[in-house]
Chains A and B, each alone.
Chain A
Amino acid sequence: MPITTPDGPDGAPALIGERLARLSRGESFSAEQAPAVFRPIPVYRISLSALTTEENVDLLSLLPQGWRYVVRERGELVLVDVSAPQNADTRVTRVTRGLAGIQVLTTALQAEQVANPVNEYEARIMDLRPAGAVYIWLHGQDDLFFALSDPAVALAAAQVVGPAQEHARRIMAIDLGAGREDLGS
């Protein structure tokens, strides 16, 4: 199989089911509507300091910061973020509803269709949200990135990291001195 994803943390599906049930307000659903979960995708981020201090960010040195699950719930695709530092203390950190679930599946499908079937890849998510972008990242011999906002184009690492570095440098350069600590962008 050319594209794989690693197994998620133990017990994560049970925690996801519990979180969704806790906020369900007791709404019932048929067996066909019962929540179902796809395989998780590990989430990677690049820190602000790494983006601004390292000219060439070493993607190989990055460690997964969590897991993103696509859950089908009552006909809706929901994203559930799970953190599991050192594969312990597994917890649900965020549930996202709206277009995000469809975006992830659509982009992942596009990535699968474009990827070289001979090569082997690990599917990842590169979350550079504050820089305005989240990508499906196929990590392998060649690293390919597909933006959720524009999945048709396969990007190289430099095309992803470069704009994020520019954004990060702008953030780091801002003076948040007295009276300016309430600014945002």
Chain B
Amino acid sequence: MNSMQVPKFLGPALPLPKPQTGLQAFAVGTDSDEVASFALATQLETHWCWASVAQSISQFRGQIVTQVEVATYHIQSGGQTFTCDLPPERKDEAQGVSCSINSCDTACNGFHSLKTVLQERGRFSCSLAENSNVSWSNIKDEVRVRRSPVPCRIGWFVGGQPKGGHFVCIFGWAIDAAGDKHVFVYDPMEPGGFTGAPANRQEMLFDDFLHRYPSLSAVGRSTHAYAVS
């Protein structure tokens, strides 16, 4: 990394100011925990956050499955008979799954309920929040006691009206040296590109996660959270 070329307009890197005296030593006492063995593959389709999260939860519980299989199973559980698929340029990532029709964009690649998808796969335990904020104690317990990630829905709002949403996964938490609460989050859109690459690790204040999650509508709010089995 040290040899990486840097654009002139960004460089050179300057040392960050040292934090307040004592902060480093105090930081030793922070409490944190995370489900280190949990990984999330980013979504392979523009509207497949639910498939990405369900796939990652299933794989975390030892059930190897692709996002295409998650999507197809969900669509067929709803009474459809066709197979979901990826666009031709992403065929390789589908590992040989073939498409039977070309109407996936109106059915598979759309808005779906993660709760329903998890229920279909036997991975839903209970709701931790329904149209409300998930509590800090729920997050702590799910991660520390049950060793489980926590799928959450971020609702988007336009003019105060709900307009769509996006599923992410909390997989860890920390209380920092100043007593502030943080969560560690995997987002199926981070990084973007719809490649199925490992999701980036995001660290943010719990309060920011609940009320100011970055989104297309400027800010999103946490609206749902689930315990998984």
Q: Give which listed residue, A4, A98, A149, A185, contacts B9 with CB less than 8 A.
A: A4
Q: How large is the interface on A (under 10, 10 to 19, 20 to 34, 35 or more residues)?
A: 35 or more
A96 near B201 with CB under 8 A, answer yes
- Are A45 and B10 also in contact (CB < 8 A) when A14-B17, A23-B27, A184-B111 are? no
Show 25 residue pairs from A and B whose CB-CB distance is below 8 angstroms, ordered by the A residue. A17-B16, A20-B16, A21-B27, A22-B23, A23-B203, A25-B30, A38-B13, A39-B11, A45-B218, A47-B216, A49-B217, A65-B218, A96-B190, A97-B200, A109-B6, A111-B7, A112-B9, A132-B193, A148-B193, A149-B193, A167-B216, A168-B216, A171-B216, A183-B113, A185-B164
B2 near A75 with CB under 8 A, answer yes
B112 near A183 with CB under 8 A, answer yes
A131 at the interface (CB under 8 A from B): yes
A1 at the interface (CB under 8 A from B): yes
The 6 closest A-B pairs by CB, nearest first: A149-B193, A98-B200, A26-B28, A185-B47, A17-B16, A36-B13
Taking A96-B203, A102-B1, A185-B50 as given, write out 17 further A-B residue pairs in contact, using a Cβ cutoff of 8 Å, ordered by the A residue number: A17-B17, A17-B18, A21-B19, A21-B27, A25-B28, A35-B16, A37-B13, A39-B9, A48-B158, A75-B2, A96-B190, A98-B191, A102-B4, A130-B166, A150-B193, A171-B216, A184-B164
Q: Which residues of B contact A (CB under 8 A)?
A: 1-2, 4-20, 23-25, 27-28, 30, 32, 46-50, 110-115, 130-131, 153-156, 158-159, 162-167, 174, 176-178, 180, 182, 189-195, 197-205, 208, 212, 214-218, 223-224
Q: Give which listed residue, A3, A71, A93, contacts B8 with CB less than 8 A.
A: A3
A133 at the interface (CB under 8 A from B): yes
Residues from chain A with Cβ under 8 Å of B178 in the complex: 22
Residues from chain B with Cβ under 8 Å of A134 in the complex: 191-192
Residues from chain B with Cβ under 8 Å of A22 in the complex: 19, 23, 27, 30, 176-178, 180
Residues from chain A with Cβ under 8 Å of B114 in the complex: 182, 184
Complex: chain B residue closest to A183, CB-CB: B111
A26 near B27 with CB under 8 A, answer yes
B163 near A174 with CB under 8 A, answer yes
B192 near A149 with CB under 8 A, answer yes
Complex: chain B residue closest to A11, CB-CB: B17
